[in-house]
A and B are shown apart, each in its own frame.
Chain A
Amino acid sequence: MNSEALVNGAALVNDDRARYDRAAIALGAGSLVSSIFVLGADAPTPIDFAHVGLGGAIVLAALGLVGILGGALHRGSLILVAGGGLTIAALVQLATLPLSPRPLGGDASMMALLGAFGIGLLAVGLARRSAASTPPGTTSILDRKADP
């Protein structure tokens, strides 16, 4: 493997990581912003897009912030913590939907929001970890095959 291939491989990995970090910031921001629906309990139907309870709003805001920090500080572990936490919260919401009141408040629309940002952050965090564990210049089998 020549030095040019090593440099190209390292640049590819760095590009991927930077893209994943930006995505984590966007997903974390989305989670944080969606917690605002907790204020819309009495909103008219045309703008009452999601029913977020107080517990769910705290989870969306806190773990959204963790996701933003993970992306901004380039810490993949924080992205995974945020994604895992939100996904678990979505599963808790799903399991408690038949109950009234529910521990996190809200309804199935909040489950969809928690699941969206949780699965998104998990996907980005896992992809980032996979890229981080690949030595520069050996980003994939296809890249290795391309070497002279």
Chain B
Amino acid sequence: MTAAMHDPPAGPLASGLSRGLLSVVRIGVAVMWIQNVAWKRPPDFGRADDNGLFFWAGQAVEFPVFPPYSAFVEVLFLPSIEVVGWIILLVEGGLGAFLLIGLATRFWAVVGLAQTLAITLSVLNAPHEWHWSYYLMFLAHLAIFATAAGRWFGLDGVLRPAWSRSSGRLARAMVRLS
């Protein structure tokens, strides 16, 4: 009886339905990044027409949220948007791709948190923005990280058994990143 009292209750993730719903969250967040990488348009990322990434990044200067970040955007980000834009494009494309298939999910959840923070610091005070959009983005990535959401209906779940048995450096790293 003592042992039974100390047995941990079956967690919600023991249910197939819960695991399926969690994969819906992961894939939904991936689709959000995929849809929004579409308007990061090289080569000038909107500088010529003051639209796209150039316009939205510029909101950090026009409506500052955190003055040091605004200074960074004004002095470094916007003048070199033809370079920084490619980095943003690759990061957001990678977020969409890797979260969609559930590979290295915890790593990409952390990248998503960082990118969400950058977006929040750019547009939180811009007109007509709903601040909870960005809080919810942050919380969704936190949930994906906390539940290691790629382990169900994702490639992390498929590949982790082999990674766990391997003594290779890459496999050990992938165990931690998934």
Interface residues of A, Cβ cutoff 8 Å to B = 16, 19-20, 23, 27, 30, 48-51, 94, 97-98, 107-109, 111-113, 115-117, 119-120, 123-124, 127, 130-131, 139-143
For B101, what are the chain A residues with a Cβ–Cβ distance below 8 Å? 27, 30, 116-117, 119-120
Q: How large is the interface on B (under 10, 10 to 19, 20 to 34, 35 or more residues)?
A: 20 to 34
> How many contacts between A and B, using CB within 8 angstroms?
89
For B167, what are the chain A residues with a Cβ–Cβ distance below 8 Å? 140-142
Interface residues of B, Cβ cutoff 8 Å to A = 30-31, 33-35, 37-38, 40-43, 89, 93-94, 96-98, 100-101, 103, 155, 158-159, 161-162, 165-167
Which of A20, A98, A109, A143 touches B35 (beta carbons < 8 Å)? A109
Majority-rule SS of B interface residues: helix
Known: A119-B103, A123-B155, A142-B167. A113 touches B161 (CB 8 A): no
Shortest C-beta distance, A95 to chain B (Å), equals: 10
Which of B34, B43, B94 touches A49 (beta carbons < 8 Å)? B34
Are B155 and A23 in touch, CB under 8 angstroms?
yes
For B162, what are the chain A residues with a Cβ–Cβ distance below 8 Å? 16, 127, 130-131
Shortest C-beta distance, B109 to chain A (Å), equals: 16
Are A123 and B38 in touch, CB under 8 angstroms?
no
